[in-house]
Chains A and B, each alone.
Chain A
């Protein structure tokens, strides 16, 4: 550790001393040196279900790009640090990425915690940074050097409310897990509800390890005029909520979040999952998309490439990394260099990029660039997804 710190100090000093010299020789060095893409992900630990597919995706596509001659005639090099779910490790990793490894762009940050912890560093170092984490706080308010690819829980609320409106339902109940994801989405939905003229008549919560939610649901059942119930949560909780919901004979439409958009949810909730609706990324239903959908070839292509290379099925999380890499590479190509300011400006100008997450149109005011069309509203029918049109 101490030798590393020494090394860091040394390189910082060196950086200061030869800054001028570097600026002069930069154009010469560029031709031969690889383009460095830095990343810090939760490859191990409790959030490894995020970081693992993200890293695999980056490795897969960087190798592919290099086989095709690289970008701007230069090869790509991935510099990666595994930070688990430790924000301190993320800070150390990003400091090394910007000062020691001198990466050209950073794509990473599996969790919102890690991302938010490193924002001040990348803002100060002025390195383009595309985050792969969910929280809306990453891009609201807009930070000059920070972008992100995944959908936000605010968008999920919006998508659900849009669907409620189209069904003429206005009075709803929320039931939320007290884990980070459930709590955050509950807050976003509560804030967003008035804009859609949705009245939240009851709001209940349950612990992340709770195994019986009949008490909470019975309370909701006792409130008059509830037309639909929205469950914000992650993991096994929503499956138990769904089972309890049917047990209590509740018939109002039940909505789940994009947090449970996986086949596992259907498996756990069984027959009780029939009729449940939830917003999800197009990647999940790649083969069910109509041929006219511009995302279809993209998500099918990524899905096939990932499964071929690593086996198993794709997750939306790997897709976020795919989108981040493609956006960064396209920006470099448009900028014609890896000049950080130019690349940042080009990332901000990304428009009409069709990715796994949706169609991305960024702007000065929007460093995410997705609208509600990025989510598909799914309904579970006969133990499988179906797209609600």
Chain B
């Protein structure tokens, strides 16, 4: 009798623990998914892997801190930060990517790495090196579910991620602009012949990615804090998510993000917490060994 009771109790303890790891996993995963989506959009439009994606994330968070500091109310500060980051996205395309139009994809990737260093430097000089916190959107009082707790902010992260993913699906499937981006990704020359303004597609995709990244950065900043370097790790994890799901596959990036996030939380909880950051990269290696096109990528789509 006593033994049974004890067993039950320890079982519920264990499931609460598992649930706790799962909660922190999906929160992280949702952020990685948003960052990964940003990678996918630009990759689709240009076959460029934009290594400044993490810096878009950082700019979202730091921009919100800055606009809040000016005394703007929260919603206005958030919109202003997204607008500012989107401008940076447009600017990156117009002043760095577009002038190098004839260059190889590798050159363009190197340009984005340069852009990421410039953005980090700018933020460091203009807004400083210190860490900042954004107040949570609806308080810090944790919600208890079956012995585990989740922050209201995590629900914001999850909810907004779902909304953004749905909105993106609608955009790509139902709007002319979205279809134009898809068409460009499938066959750039054919799209050009069909009268699609390929340059404009590229321009829009950089802005869209920047806005998505900024949104991700703003959503997590109350949980993870932010500073000028906050985008490096988030960018790499988002990149892992995109690769894992198959580059260019939007829903794949979302799934990849979730897998990376949950694997990290479980790994830190049940295995060893010190090497949590390594888990995403081990996953990447495994996927590249056994399924180089990613879990949800089309096999054998060699793009020429």
Interface size class of A (residues with CB under 8 A): 20 to 34
- Asked if A214 meets B273 with Cβ closer than 8 Å, knowing A248-B149, A268-B131, A268-B225, the reply is no
Stretch in B20-28, B36-44, B186-194, B195-203 touching the partner: B20-28
Question: Which residues of A (188-223) have their CB < 8 Å from a CB of B?
Answer: 204-207, 209-212, 214-216, 218-219, 222
Task: Give bound CA distance, A271 to B151, whole Å.
Answer: 14
Chain B interface residue count, Cβ-Cβ cutoff 8 angstroms: 32
- Is A248 in contact with B20, judged by CB distance below 8 angstroms? yes
Task: Give bound CA distance, A133 to B9, whole Å.
Answer: 50
Dominant secondary structure at the A interface = helix
User: Is A270 an interface residue when CB atoms closer than 8 A count as contact?
Assistant: yes
Q: Specify which chain A residues have a CB less than 8 angstroms from the CB of B151 in the assembled complex.
A: 247
Question: 0/1 per residue, B264-292, Cβ < 8 Å to A?
Answer: 01001100011011000000000000000
Question: Which residues of A (114-128) have their CB < 8 Å from a CB of B?
Answer: none
Q: How far is the CB of A101 from chain B (nearest CB, A)?
A: 32
User: Is B144 an interface residue when CB atoms closer than 8 A count as contact?
Assistant: yes
Task: Give bound CA distance, A235 to B268, whole Å.
Answer: 21
Task: Give bound CA distance, A218 to B276, whole Å.
Answer: 15
Closest to B265 in A: A215
Task: Give bound CA distance, A212 to B25, whole Å.
Answer: 10
- Identify which of A206, A211, A218, A236 contacts B274 (C-beta below 8 A): A206
Question: Which residues of B (240-280) have their CB < 8 Å from a CB of A?
Answer: 265, 268-269, 273-274, 276-277
Q: Specify which chain A residues have a CB less than 8 angstroms from the CB of B13 in the assembled complex.
A: 222
Q: Specify which chain A residues have a CB less than 8 angstroms from the CB of B17 in the assembled complex.
A: 218-219, 222
User: Is A272 an interface residue when CB atoms closer than 8 A count as contact?
Assistant: yes
Q: Specify which chain B residues have a CB less than 8 angstroms from the CB of A178 in the assembled complex.
A: 274
- Is A270 in contact with B133, judged by CB distance below 8 angstroms? yes
User: Is B8 an interface residue when CB atoms closer than 8 A count as contact?
Assistant: no
Question: Which residues of A (248-271) have their CB < 8 Å from a CB of B?
Answer: 248-249, 264, 267-271
User: Is B130 an interface residue when CB atoms closer than 8 A count as contact?
Assistant: yes
- What are 23 A-B pairs at a CB distance below 8 A? A204-B273, A205-B273, A206-B276, A212-B24, A212-B28, A212-B223, A212-B224, A214-B24, A215-B265, A215-B276, A218-B269, A219-B269, A219-B273, A222-B13, A239-B133, A240-B224, A247-B149, A249-B142, A249-B144, A264-B130, A264-B131, A270-B140, A271-B140
Q: Which residues of B contact A (CB under 8 A)?
A: 13, 17, 20-21, 23-24, 27-28, 130-133, 135, 140, 142, 144, 149, 151, 220, 223-225, 227, 229, 233, 265, 268-269, 273-274, 276-277
